Each structure stands twice: as structure tokens, then as C-alpha cells.
Amino acid sequence: MIEDIQADELYQLKTNNNHVLVDVRSPKEYQEATIPGSVNIPIFSDQERAVVGTIYKQKGPEAAKEKGLEIFSKKLPDFIREFKKIDMQATVFCWRGGMRSKTATTVLGLMGIEVQRLSGGIRAYREWTVERLNQFEMKPELFVLNGYTGSGKTILLDRLKAKGYPVIDLEKLAGHRGSIFGHIGRNPVNQRSFDFALLEKLLEVQQERFVFIEGESKRIGKVVIPDWFDQKKENSKQIFVHLPVEERVRNILDDYQPWLNPEQFKEAFHIIKKRLPTNISKELGEYLDAHDFTKTVELLLTYYYDSLYDYSTNYPESQKTAFTASNVEEAEEQLVKWVSDRYGSKVK
């Protein structure tokens, strides 16, 4: 007998270190979006799934089932072998909790491998996630890191996290830095994957007193953050980090490493070149062609990003706290002291 569990029950199981989620969809489906922490043991390859789907459209569901069974039966020993490697409780899922996950649980049960099935599949988990996100009431205070491009905000989040401070790195969850050039060297995710990851982070930090995030637009690459989260961010404490221009240029080059993807930088530059003075646009193009990325970044900061940033960060003085430092390490020290002073003792 197949044991089905609901989406809310699944989340509770996910917090158990002795549980594993298994996505039995094709590798391509798994890569596009899956439940965080899942492993992929597919019933069909991408090509096999396409064959079954074509038969379904052309000949109907029964013919598709027969073809699917024919394909899967040949792969059954390998499929069973992969599940035998799992030494903990497992829950399997597919797209809608239909034939693929039902077939997997039935076959595994016959072989003495007891697994659960997610009722409604990843689609039901997505609906549960969206509902939870829309109704979420975040308890911790938000400390929003701001600063001109290159001020080391993401580096600071990483350093604070390493020290045990609660952090939500929205850019990391989105796989995008939030700028025209933000996708370069990253793997931008879709809204479904972002929502899954964001909800888990929110639940993870819900009992904290505060959480550090980076000041972001509502849209980050391909995804948007929930309205309530965007509003809470805008109404929270805004921490501004000021670093020297040369330090900012160094941080940008270390992060983006434009010499690895020069053509992508040129493509991104063409999107914004019309917003720049003609002479600056021409000069930038020449520097890019010459792979002089230091000069390229300096000009982009001076004539594009800094003025854009000034326009988007107009907060009341009562919301703002500013730190001026010579580098990220010094800014980190100031931030840690500020938090300690604010709460009366060293936090974590």
C-alpha cells in the first residue's frame, strides 16, 4: 500500500537529518526546479520522457503507459540499485504525484524498499510554498546592507554568516547579482526554485532576533521577492557601507572576473550604452575591446552605477546608519561592534 504524505508534512520531514527526498522526474525537469535538498533518481531520461510524451499526444494515455513500462522495465535493476544505496527514510515525488511516483513506490515496495510518496507532487509543494510565502509574518528585525556597487555587501554577508550571524543572501538564492551584468558567471534560477529556497531560509531564521540581508530591488534577475518582504525591507534599518573607489573596483573584478566571459560583458554593456554620454560609451567600448576591465569598471561606476544608486536609496535619516572603512575587513569589524552595542552583548 502506497503511503502518501502532504506538503506540510514533507517540510517537517525535511528538517530531519535521517530523511531524503527523491525526485524521479527526468534530469532536465530536476535541473529546472526541484524541492531543495532532493536527489535525482529518474525513471526516464530526457529523451525517453520525450518519446513517451509524443506517444501520449499521438496515440493516447494507454499506449504511452505501455511504452513507459517497456522502457522502465529494462532500467529496473539499476533503479532498484540506486535506492538500495539510500540508508534512510525516503519520500519520492514527480510532477503531480501521478504515474511516475506511483510506479516507483509500487516497484520499490515489491522489492522490500518502503518509501513514501508526496501527494500532488512538486506542484502541490509549490502551491503550499506560495501560500506560506504570501501569508508569512517575519518576526526578526531586518538589517539591510547598502552601499555603492562594489562595496563588498555580499562579501560581508558571507563573513557575517561564517561568524554565526543570521543571513539571507537573496542574490545567492536567485543565482543573480541583480544588475545588468549580474547573470555573468552565475546560474539564474526560476521563480519556483527561488520561492522554495526563500521559504526555507525564512523558516530557518524565524526565531532569530535579527537577520542581515543586502539591499535589493524587488526584481533580482528572473525572480521577484514577495510584496510583504520588499515592504519590510524598505521599512527596516538601512546600513550604508562606504569604501574607497579603488577598493570597490577590486571587489568587482574579484567577484565578476570579466576576463573569463568578455563577450558576455560586451553583450550586457550594449544594453545600457544608450543611457551613457556618447563619448563615455565610446571610451567604454574601447576599453572592453582591449580587455582593460579596471578602466571599464571605473567608468561604469562613475557614469552609471553610482548615480543610479543615489537615486534608489533615499531613506529618512532615522532609518540610516553609515560606516566608512578602507576595506571589507574593517567594515566587518565595525558591523560586528555595532550589532554587539545594539544588543548589549556579543551576539553568537
Residue 30 pLDDT class (50, 70, 90 cuts) = very high
- Decide if pLDDT at 346 tops 70: no
Q: DSSP assignment, residue 182?
A: T
Q: Would you say the pTM of this structure is higher than 0.85? A: yes
Sign of the torsion formed by the C-alpha atoms of 53, 55, 56 and 58: positive
pLDDT in tens, 83-95: 999 999 999 999 9
182-236 pLDDT, tens digit each: 899 889 999 999 999 999 999 999 999 999 999 999 999 999 999 999 999 999 9
Mean pLDDT of 298-326: 86
pLDDT at 135: 94
pLDDT for 337 equals 94
Residue 11, pLDDT score: 83
Is the CB of residue 335 less than 8 Å from the CB of residue 214? no
Among 310, 337, 315, residue whose Cα is nearest residue 147: 310
- Range with lowest mean pLDDT among 29-43, 145-159, 164-178, 311-325: 311-325
Task: Write out pLDDT tens, residues 61-83.
Answer: 999 999 999 999 999 999 999 99
Query: What local confidence, expressed as pLDDT, does residue 179 receive?
Result: 85
**Backbone phi and psi for residue 40, each to the nearest 5 degrees, phi listed first:** -110, 115
- Going from the C-alpha of 162 to that of each of 25, 142, 165, the distances in angstroms are 35, 18, 7
Three cell numbers at 125? 509543494
Asked whether residue 312 carries a pLDDT value surpassing 70, the answer given is no
Cell 501527494 belongs to residue: 119
Question: What's the mean per-residue pLDDT of the chain?
Answer: 92
- Give the pLDDT of residue 343: 77
User: For cell 534577475, what's the residue?
Assistant: 221
pLDDT in tens, 253-284: 999 999 999 999 899 898 898 889 999 999 99
Q: What is the pLDDT of residue 345?
A: 55
> What is the residue type of 219?
R
Q: How would CATH label the architecture of 3-131?
A: 3-Layer(aba) Sandwich (3.40)
CA-closest candidate to residue 146, choices 348, 341, 335: 335
Query: What is the pLDDT, as a whole number, of residue 1?
Result: 58
Q: Which CATH number is 140-343's, of 3.40.1350, 3.40.50, 3.30.420, 2.40.128?
A: 3.40.50
pLDDT band, very low/low/confident/very high, at 141 (cuts 50, 70, 90): very high
Q: Model confidence over 234-260: pLDDT tens digits?
A: 999 999 999 999 999 999 999 999 999
CA 80/CA 77 separation, integer angstroms = 5
Q: What is the pLDDT of residue 347?
A: 53
Domain boundaries, the chain: 3-131, 140-343
Hey, which residues are catalytic here? 94
CA-nearest of 121, 119, 131 to 195 is 131
- Stretch 35-43: mean pLDDT, rounded? 95
